[in-house]
Chain A
Amino acid sequence: MNTDRARLDLARSDVYRLLAACFYEPDREMLLEENLCANLAGLMEELSIPAARSCRRMEQGLQENSREELLVEYSSLFLNPFGAPAQPYGSVYLDKERQLMGDSTMQVRKIYAAAGVKQETDGPPDHIAIELEFMSFLGQRIAQAIACSDQEAVAEFTAIQACFFNTYLASWAPLLGRAIQEHAELPLYRALGDCLLGFIGAEQQRLRKSADSPLHEPR
């Protein structure tokens, strides 16, 4: 039982991590060599999350377009200095002024610290890739705690994960997903939007019930 749960937690952690990887500048060859989309599809199937098809479309998109085409699309969606239609930062969706480094960003940074990680890269900590990576980290910690039968750690990281997800990531990732769907022109990114929405939607179902403790007081 515990092993099964740990396996699922680890699979989920992998989904978060591989999804996070999709929000970096697309290194087409590396993504292909590592079978990222196929692995993602497999994990979705294993977790019974209806996002496997979008992962396969991502795979096709990766094959179809050149590295430069993908980079132009990535830049246009997420980095476009004339106004990126899919802003990858949480505070742009969550804070009243829709700026970077809002109060929500600072809260996110504190949650990372409380969970025992710090950001190593530049930029605001509420970038979608980093928040997804954080969820992945928590998933691994949960799996590890289960494997070690450390119930206290399981409870602690599960609570952090649920609270972080519900209060932060899930509050804005669907908006980002829809923005990507609306503005992406290449199949890879259109499908990434679908995939993000599908996965976050499934996670909302799973974690809704766990969201019983307020975020600022994780155990």
Chain B
Amino acid sequence: MKIKRRDFLKMSAATGLAVAAFKGTTLNALAEAPKGTIGGEKAGKWMASTCQGCTTWCPIEIFVQEGRATKVRGNQLSKANDGYCCVRGHLIIQQIYDPDRIKTPMKRTNPVKARGVDPKFVPITWDEALNTLADKIMELRTNNESHKYMLMRGRYSYNNDILYGNLTKVIGSPNNISHSAICAEVEKMGSFYTEGFWGYRDYDLENMKYLIVWGCDPLSSNRQIPTAISKFGNLLDQGTVVAIDPRMTNTAAKAHKWLPVKPGEDGALATAMAHVILTSGLWNKDFCGDFKDGKNLFKAGQTVDEAAFDEKRTHGLVKWWNIELKDRTPEWAAKITGLNKKDIVEVATGFAKAAPRCAVWNGPNMMPRGTYGAMAMYALNGLVGATDSIGGVCTGMGGPSSSHPKVDDFLDDIAKAGSKNKKIDQRGTLEFPALSEGKVGGGVVTNNVANAILAAKPYDIKVAIGYFCNFNFSGAEGGRWDKALAKIPFFAHITTMASEMSQFADIVLPSAMHHSEQWAPVKSKANLHGHTSLQQPVIKRMFEVKAPETEFVWMLAEKLKARGFENPMNWLLSYKDPETGKPATSAEEFALVATKVFTQKAWDPAMNKDYKGDRPTGWADFAEKGIVNSEKFTFGKKWEKGFEKTATKKFEFYSETLKKTLTEHAEKQKVTIDQALEAINYTARGEQAFVPHYEPVRRHGEVKDFPFTLVDMKSRLNREGRSGNLPWYLAFKQCDPGDVNNEDVLQINPADAKKLGVKEGDMIKVTSTVGSLKVRARLWEGIQPGTVAKCFGQGHWAYGRVAAKDYAKAIPRGANFNEIMPDDYDRLVGAACRNGGFTGLKIEKA
């Protein structure tokens, strides 16, 4: 806030405003206006937008009165949530009106970049911020170092192609780094290397008879929470729900059965269930086929002649049995998982008998060696023919969209040369195969970027931008990010809140709130419908915030153009408003034009006339409704046409697709597949590498030294780690089973606590192989002896007055257990770990 008029500082007498000659007023922030009345509340309006508090990406409506958001609900037209949002949506109000939001661009005045050292940010104009940034980018290009520019993306909209994808290319860098590999990439490995689907699945809960919720908690977090909540009651009445999780989740609390599996031993349970299903003759004959003579030859411990089986829509069932399943008896699994044989058999047979109206709804499985467990869990859906079946699991629908204009015509020689460099995250190496979607080096290795920067391998990063992300807080062993970011000579962070990551920024830039202050398109799915929905600036912006993916890019392009680099602006001008044919003339207009361009197929009557879902009559209609729903998913197409993305076009129990990709990786690295697997800590050798199988937990810390195993959990109040400064987050924390209001606790079984002499509410010191934290103990039967559970979300040492206990001293409120989770990976995909019992802990009274 600046004083606009020097008059404002003058005495009345000096400005001739002496009483006798009084003529008017001297105002700065105010101006005279016709008198209004105090009156009551003015009428408000529900305005459509989209919540990205989790990956459901719920179409919502925000009630706006006089430019102020007051309430939130689901979009009444949404088929994904039937007009309801979950509790996260309601937290939006406190997020918008958080007094600690970044209100203006700021620059550091203290050159020392470290935790506990105040950057002493002072306000600057957008102009100054962008001039500085443009100079830094131009310097890289002048020195043929454009590849040393890096863009880090956290949460994003479908306008991310502009900032994350194409601006990076136009500048000339390969380094657009997504957060995806600290999110949930392992679970995608499960469905990809069995049925060729790289994505999150959808579920026909309405027609389901048996649901296994495995290592996730759909009533609380990720994903499609509102529909899971609304369908859950009927599902409990009409069928069976089983929760498999080391802790008592919301789902477990309501389920018919809870199997508290030992952390990370899911692969043992899944393979044993497959064993039971096969030995009981309960596999789906229509889907998998049958023995030629109709006699079940699957007997424990005995190999089966492949020729005896006539396989239908699957590939390698007998191979899977012979290589892995024949010895995976329920007795064997009971010892490993801590469950009893009877329960394993009961759930496996109950599940198979309900087939195909059943599903395994498996979670992220972000653990070392996690891929094969995820494949084993998902393979159960194939074994019983639940995939692509009514009442089962499916790939779901998409929402309609066009695409962003191509950038190829705007790449100069510097850009082309720079983009050819290796990416900073070391993907596609012996250490990080990163086999996303069947491609060697196909996926990001987000959490390794910190290591790569510190080692300057393959090179150093000189200019970085991050948006909608806070890797120091949300990645395991986040302290590495402190050092890595401190090493980058220039870092700009575009964010709504000054976070742990902003602590290391040279410039912080105030971001618009995605749900209420910017134009952007979002596509998602739930409840067997896909949707394309809008984020809109439904409220009046209070501060100088900008939409990172659009407005910021436009403003930066203006500055680059002023420095003789015109390609970015020329590329942005290639976006033409579909209604007028004209390009944008300002940053704000560009955000709108880009959103209209990307969604044109959804709303333009010339393009949507044959669409079978919703058909708005034009842009205005789409903006008013905020959503286009797809038609309902049609089951059975894969049964009919095959699985187009797998190598065999079948559901693969023996993954030729993975074999092909692993072979390509090994050849590239000039090693055998066994050597390749050994290098990334897998135990599988030979043919086992190509089938879903059991991999023992890779645990950091010997049990004798670190006797407890950590279970990471997510709060139903987490807006992906962005709720820590919201008073309601603390006030309602006990809505997470076992947690306590206004506290951050480690859940420990009372029997364990007694042995340690720990009482309810005691402070305890928790130590892993990489560090120690202090946290309050919560005695809770919902966690198994030998395991302890800690919710992610608190433990910020930055992020605002509520989130941090003492920012100046870097003392967090609560404890962020990412600090003591070791920096390890499921290296096949490159995913950072947080699940699956990989962290051993020692607990002492503090």
Contact = CB atoms under 8 A, between A and B. Distances in A.
Nearest to A110: B38
B6 A34 contact: yes
Interface in A55-112: 68, 71-72, 74-76, 79-84, 87, 89, 92, 97-102, 106, 109-112
A136 B104 CA distance: 27
B40 to A, nearest CB: 10
A184 interface: no
Given A72-B122, A75-B106, A121 B8 contact: no
A6 B102 CA distance: 42
Contacts of B93: 99
A106 B36 contact: no
A216 B37 CA distance: 10
Interface string B120-158: 111100000000000000000000000000000000000
B705 interface: no
Nearest to B508: A81
B100 A115 contact: no
A113 B2 contact: no
A150 to B, nearest CB: 12
Contacts of B760: none
Given A82-B800, A114-B36, A147 B20 contact: yes
Interface string B21-37: 01001111111111111
A217 B322 CA distance: 85
Interface stretch (A7-15, A166-174, A196-204): A7-15
Contact of A82 (B8, B727, B798): B798
B253 interface: no
Contacts of A3: 19-20
Contacts of A21: 3, 8-9, 28
B544 interface: yes
Contacts of A76: 118, 120
Contact of B121 (A75, A119, A122, A130): A75
Contacts of B502: 81
Contacts, number: 199
A79 B27 contact: no
B3 A100 contact: no
A86 to B, nearest CB: 11
Given A99-B94, A122-B544, A134 B30 contact: yes
B97 A100 contact: yes
Interface in B765-816: 798-801, 804, 807
Interface residues of A, number: 75
A165 interface: no
A123 B97 contact: no
B22 A144 contact: yes
A81 B102 contact: yes
Residue of B25, B497, B543 with most partner-chain A CB within 10 A: B25
Interface string B476-507: 00000000000000000000011000100000
Given A10-B17, A83-B807, A116 B26 contact: no
B22 A143 contact: yes
Contact of A119 (B29, B66, B118): B29
A155 interface: no
Query: Could you tell me the dominant secondary structure of chain B's interface residues?
Result: loop
A21 B31 CA distance: 16
Contacts of A144: 22
A76 B122 CA distance: 8
A20 interface: yes
Contact of A7 (B19, B29, B544): B19
A30 interface: yes
A191 interface: no
A20 B22 contact: no
Contact of B31 (A72, A75, A101, A120): A120
A190 interface: no
A216 B38 contact: yes
Given A30-B6, A99-B94, A112-B30, A87 B99 contact: yes
Interface of B: 1-3, 6, 8-12, 17-20, 22, 25-39, 66, 68, 93-94, 96-104, 106, 109, 118, 120-123, 497-498, 502, 508, 541-544, 727-728, 798-801, 804, 807
24 contacts: A10-B18, A10-B19, A14-B11, A21-B8, A21-B28, A24-B3, A30-B3, A34-B6, A75-B106, A75-B123, A76-B118, A81-B121, A82-B807, A84-B99, A99-B93, A106-B68, A113-B38, A116-B33, A118-B33, A123-B542, A129-B29, A130-B30, A133-B27, A140-B12
Given A75-B106, A82-B798, 6 more contacts: A18-B9, A39-B11, A81-B100, A84-B100, A112-B30, A140-B17
The 10 closest A-B pairs by CB, nearest first: A113-B36, A81-B498, A83-B801, A118-B33, A34-B9, A99-B97, A100-B97, A117-B30, A82-B807, A116-B35
